[in-house]
Structure 1
Amino acid sequence: MIRTVHVTRYVTPLREGGSLPAVTEADDDFLYVLKFRGSGQGPKALIAELLGGEIARALGLRVPEIVFAELDAAYGRTEPDQEIQDLLKASVGLNLALHYLSGSITFDPAALSIDPVLASRIVWLDCLITNVDRTARNTNMLWWNKQLWLIDHGAAFYFHHNWKDWENRAQQPFSLVKDHVLLPWASALKEVDAENRALLTPERIDAIVRLIPDEWLGEELAYKEAYARFLNERVAHSSIFVNGALHARQALI
């Protein structure tokens, strides 16, 4: 189940994000990183964030708690920054937020070592969800309480920006894995493949996909089932993207 909170205070923008996420406070008195439905990437980035994060959690990876965040129409009226005010007005309703990991630092593979099995699990996940945004330039991983946490999956499932030929894409390798920051350490891809396939049953995938709010899909409501079919196809044929990752890793080492 995903909790729903109500945003009570805009704390500060995180301008390094492409969609202007912000640190906000909610009515449960916790801080969250809020992803706005009114950003340039639109609700599809929120869908990717929700699916990617909850699939990662199902695989036993650490992801900050994901919540739905209600934004009231009156929320942005006193915001002096016109760009932020426009974003708030366009985001009235249901948004997505992740628990703010206060004091966390960006993961630096040059400074911190990572277990090969954990690296393999993360690479496998990103191949599954076609996440293009886990590179050395932008790792989208945080080191918090001496543990590795995954954030920002909004660039995953990039096929849903154009649904054309999505069935065939479900059985294709993930070519951009060659740029994955953890690929050099991912020496246990074959071992984690069987374990991850067992965890991501059709029932588990269906339960995660059902979390997508209908209002985020709008006229594409019929595609909710397509997300489940895409994921089930990729899990069933995971050897395709695993072998692609193994070949890409061999070229690196």
Structure 2
Amino acid sequence: MNALKLRRVRVTRYVTPLREGGSMPALAEADDGFLYVLKFRGAGQGENALIAELIGGEIARRLGLRVPELVFADLDEAFGRTEPDEEIQDLLKFSTGLNLALHFLSGSITFDPAVSVVDEEMASKIVWLDCLLTNMDRTARNTNMLWWHKELWLIDHGASLYFHHSWHNWEDQAVKPFLLVKDHVLLRRAGRLEEMDALLKPLLTPEIIAGIVGLIPDEWLTGGTFDTPSAYRAAYVQFLTSRLAHSAVFVKAAIDARGTV
């Protein structure tokens, strides 16, 4: 049995769209009384973005990095009926059912690399994580990090694991360097990548990876690549465990890229 578990909430109020996100997430209230940033399965990248968000966020948490609580969020079909904005109405209609949400960090401030400095250990951990996940979306233009209560929090891992949008040569993709690390906002500060590789890899055992992947709901695992949700999960586990086994490849590429910034 999977020891990991996410809470499940029901969306009770659509508060406002967060239009700075490409997938148009929203601020919403749930039946537990808390506010969440709601990520919709009916958005452009569909369930794949939610899967990447889930896997990326829970791996980051396992590594000791701060990530807002992730919850499964049920959205009733009634929400789309009263929304006056047609674009949002369609988004809500196509997102009926199970979505993903992050606890809203009220009062948080977007990380600005021109103002704030992250120490070498933290920077190296985050760069290592994003190389593992092939997360292309932690750049100076869009850092996807927040300061909240004087602590650094990571958000929005939906652009990770981009191989799963086509599943083309996915086994080969697992062992390739992450060349987009050259644009990572923290690369210049990441001077302890080899040390972090030795520290972080043992934390992500095959059992831990399988437990995180096991959280993915069956209804998100569809398409023509594999026949069953179990086969999709096995592929995600294989990709991540293979990538971890070959982490020296992406660590070297990150160190080489750091030498050019």
Deviates more, 1:221-230 or 1:14-23: 221-230
- 1:61 to partner: Cα distance: 0.3
Aligned mate of 2:193, from 180, 189, 192: 189
Corresponding residue for residue 152 of structure 1 = 156
Aligned mate of 2:132, from 121, 128, 131: 128
Corresponding residue for residue 251 of structure 2 = 242
Between the aligned residues of both structures, percent identity stands at 69
For 2:118, the aligned partner's letter is: I
- Structure 1 residue runs without a partner (length 5+): none
- Structure 2 residue runs without a partner (length 5+): none
- 1:113 to partner: Cα distance: 1.3
For 1:121, the aligned partner's letter is: K
- 1:136 to partner: Cα distance: 0.3
State how many pairs are aligned.
252
**What's the CA shift string for 1:73-126, capped at 9, x where partnerless?**
112211111111111000000000000000101101111111100000000000
CA–CA separation in structure 2 for the residues paired with 1:231 and 1:127: 11
Does residue 1:214 correspond to 2:218, yes or no? yes
Secondary structure at the counterpart of residue 17 of structure 1: coil
Corresponding residue for residue 205 of structure 1 = 209
Does residue 1:227 correspond to 2:236, yes or no? yes
Structure 1 segment 1-253 matched on structure 2, within 5 A: 1-219=5-223, 220=226, 221=229, 222-252=231-261
For 2:94, the aligned partner's letter is: A
CA–CA separation in structure 1 for the residues paired with 2:251 and 2:90: 43
Secondary structure at the counterpart of residue 10 of structure 1: strand
Deviates more, 1:73-82 or 1:63-72: 73-82
- 1:224 to partner: Cα distance: 1.4
For 1:227, the aligned partner's letter is: Y
CA–CA separation in structure 2 for the residues paired with 1:141 and 1:45: 18
**What's the CA shift string for 1:187-233, capped at 9, x where partnerless?**
01011101110100001000000000010012442221111000000
Secondary structure at the counterpart of residue 155 of structure 1: coil
Secondary structure at the counterpart of residue 81 of structure 2: coil
**What's the CA shift string for 1:143-196, capped at 9, x where partnerless?**
110000000000000000111110011110000000000000000101110111
TM-score, normalised via structure 1 length: 0.98
4+ runs of 1 displaced by more than 4 Å? none
